Amino acid sequence: MLTRLTVENLAVLTAVEVEFGPGFNVLTGETGAGKSLLVDALGLVLGNRGSSTLVRTGAGQATVTAEFTLTPSSPACKLLNSREIPIENNELLLHRSITADGRSRAWINGVPVPIGFLREIGEHLVEIHGQHEHLALARSEHQRMLLDCAAGSENLSVQVAQTATVLRRLEETLSEAKSAGAQRREKLDTLRFQLRELDELGPREGEYQDLGAEYERLHDRERTEAAYAQALGALEEGEGSASATLGRAQRALKGLHAPSAELAEAIDLLFQAESLVSEALRLLRPEAQAEADPAARLEWLNTRIARYQTLARKHAVDPASLAALKQRLTRENDALETGDQHLAKLADNLHACRSEYEKLATELSSKRRRATVEFSTQVTQTMRELGMPQAEFSIHLESVSTESYPPGGRERVNFLVTTNPDQRPGPIARIASGGELSRIALAVEVLGDPSSGTPVMVFDEVDAGIGGRVADLVGRCLKALAGHRQILCVTHLPQVAALANHHFEVRKLTTATSSSATIEPLDEALRVEAIAAMLGGLRVTESARRHARALIQPPPR
C-alpha cells in the first residue's frame, strides 16, 4: 500500500505531502489545479522518464518520495532481497530527484540505484491507468496473467513457467557435460597414471611427519645411545647410583625407633622417589636396547622420504599433502569414469522434462482457448456499460515457437480493441484514448481476479466523457476493486468521489508572480461542500448539499 507521497518543487507542487489510506482514494479539484501532476510525480518515483522542464522555476532540483508498506510475500521484497537492499518492518522508501540541468538520481531505502531498477521495482507496486507510460495492461505478460485468471489456470501457468526453468537448466547442464566429454578421456588417462604412482607409494595421512621424526632419531643414534647409557648408569649402576643411594637412605631411617611425623613423611617421599626411579628405568631399558644397528632402517627411511618428495614436486604440493591429493584425484577419476552414465541420466531427465512441459503447455493452451470467447464477451459488455457503446474487445492468441520451451506457454496473448464500428481491432495502447484506456483497464480488472496483480492501482481521468448512470457504474467498479487493492483515482465526477474512503482536494493558488498547488484531506463536512460544488458549479446551493449527502450516504434499498 502507498502510505505517503511527498513532492517538492515539481512544477506547481512546491511542497506537498499526502498520506493515503487503504481502499478507495480520490483526488478532486478544478481543471489545471495539479491533480494529474500528482500522478505524474508518482510515475517519476516509479521510474518514468523525467525532464528538467518539470523542475520549478528558480529551484535547483525537484524531489519525489513515496513510502509503501509491503507484505513479506510481495514480489518487490524478493527483488529487493536479490539486490541485498535492506527492508525493515516491511517498509519501502523510494526517492527520486531531478536537477535543473537534467540529472536524475534514485534511491531505494537509502541505497542508490539505477533508474531502470526503480522502474523494475515499480512494476510490482503500482499500475497507472490513463497514461501510456507505466501502463501494465499494455504489456503482453500482464494480459496473459489476466487471461489465466479468467480461465482459472493461474496454477497451471506457474507450473509451465517452473517446468520451463528446470528444462533450461537441464539443457545447459547437458550441454556443458557434452562439451567436457571430449576432454574427459584425456583427463582420465592422466589421472590413472598419477594414481598408479601414488598407489605405488601408498601415502598415509601423517606418515611423512612420522618418517621425518624417526629419521632424525635414528640419524642421531650414537648420541642417543650415550645418553641412555649415562642415564641408566646414574640411576642403577654402582654405589653412587640413584637406586643405591635411595636404598641406603631408606635403610638408615627405617632403623630409628618412634620416628616423628616429619621423619615418617620423609621416609614416604624416599619410597616414592625409589618407585619413580624404577618406573624410569622400565621405560629406558627397551629404548636403550632397540635398533642396535639402525643402518638398514635409515636407508629404508631415506628412500621412502625421497619418494614422497619426488611425487610432491611433480604435483606441486607439500609432501605431507600427498594422501589428501590421492583422495581428491580418486574422486575426480570416479566422477569421470561415471561420466557416460551421468550423460545418459541427464538426457533421460531432459526428455522427461520436455514431455512434462508439452503436457502442461497443451492443457494450458486448451484452457486459454476455452476462456477467450467468454472473457472477450464479458469485457465488451462491461466496456459498453462504462460509456463505450461501440467498443469491441477481443483476444488474439499468437502461436510461438515451442523449440525454446517459453515459460509463458505456447502462445503470446494480445488484447485487441476497437472503439468505433468502422475501426479495425488493434492493440489497446494504440487504439484507445487516455480515458478509454482507464475504463478498459477497469473492465478487465473487475472481471478478472480483483485480488491479483499489483497492490496499488491509479486511474487518471477514468471518467472522461461520461456521466449519469455510467458514472455511477464506474464509481461502483472502482469501489469493488478497492475491496482488494488500494485505488487512487483522479476524478471530476461527484458520483465517483462520493464513494471514496478518502477524499483529497487539490487547489491551485495563484499570485501576481507565481502559482502553487495544495492538497488537503477532507473531513465529512468538507466532502459535502466539495461534492456539492462538483454538482452545482460555482455557486453551492443547499439543494446541491442535500444531493451531495445523498450520494455519500445513499438511502437503503
333 and 188 share one domain: yes
Residue 186: which residues within 8 A CB-CB, separation 6 or more? none
**542 assigned to some structural domain:** no
Amino acid at 335: A
pTM confidence score: 0.62
**Structural domain boundaries enclosing 80:** 1-125+454-522
Q: Which of 153, 123, 118 is nearest to 138 (CA)?
A: 123
324 and 251 inside one domain: yes
Residue 315 main-chain phi, psi, to 5 deg:
-100, 0
Domain for residue 354, yes or no?
no
Q: What is the CATH number of the domain that holds 472?
A: 3.40.50.300
Q: Is residue 272 domain-shared with residue 204, that is, in the same domain?
A: yes
Of 337, 357, 392, at which residue does a domain stop?
A: 337
Q: What are the φ/ψ torsions at residue 387 (nearest 5 degrees)?
A: 90, 25
Q: SS in 3 state form for 261-293?
A: HHHHHHHHHHHHHHHHHHHHHHHHHHHHHCCCC
- Asked, for residue 6, whether it belongs to a domain, the answer is yes
Q: Which of 292, 319, 337 is the last residue of a domain?
A: 337
Total tally of structural domains belonging to the chain? 2
Please report, as a single letter, which amino acid is at residue 487: I
328 and 211 inside one domain: yes
Q: Return d(Cα 157, Cα 148) in angstroms, integer.
A: 7
Is residue 62 in some structural domain? Answer: yes
Shared domain for 90 and 209, answered yes or no, is: no
Give the domain-ending residue among 322, 337, 352: 337
Residue 391 domain-assigned (yes or no)? no
Please name the residue that has the C-alpha cell 496473448: 413
Query: Do 297 and 189 reside in the same domain of the chain?
Result: yes
3-state secondary structure of 41: helix
Q: Helix, strand or coil for residue 525?
A: helix
Is there a domain that residue 138 lies in? no
Q: Are residues 193 and 295 in the same domain?
A: yes
**Do strands 411-418 and 426-427 pair parallel, antiparallel, or not at all (unpaired)?**
antiparallel
Q: Are residues 53 and 198 in the same domain?
A: no
CA distance 91 to 73: 13
Q: Is residue 151 part of a domain?
A: no
Whole-number Å distance between alpha carbons of 274 and 272: 5
* Buried/exposed 283-294: b ≥16 CB within 10 Å, e otherwise: ebeeeeeebeeb
Q: What is the pLDDT tens value at each position of the chain, 557 positions in all? A: 999 999 999 988 889 999 999 999 999 888 878 888 898 899 999 988 888 888 988 888 999 999 999 988 888 888 888 888 888 888 999 999 999 988 999 999 999 999 999 999 998 899 887 644 446 677 888 889 888 988 888 899 999 999 999 999 888 888 877 776 666 667 777 888 888 888 888 888 888 888 888 788 777 765 666 676 776 667 666 666 777 777 777 777 776 766 677 777 777 787 787 778 777 767 766 655 555 566 788 788 888 888 889 888 888 888 888 888 888 888 877 777 766 677 788 888 999 999 999 999 999 999 999 999 999 998 888 888 887 888 889 999 998 887 788 999 999 999 998 888 878 888 876 776 666 777 787 788 777 665 666 899 888 877 666 677 777 888 888 888 888 889 999 888 888 889 999 999 998 888 777 788 889 999 999 999 888 888 876 678 888 888 888 888 765 54
89 and 204 fall within a common domain: no
Residue 233, domain member (yes or no) = yes
CA 181-182-188 angle, 5° bins: 75
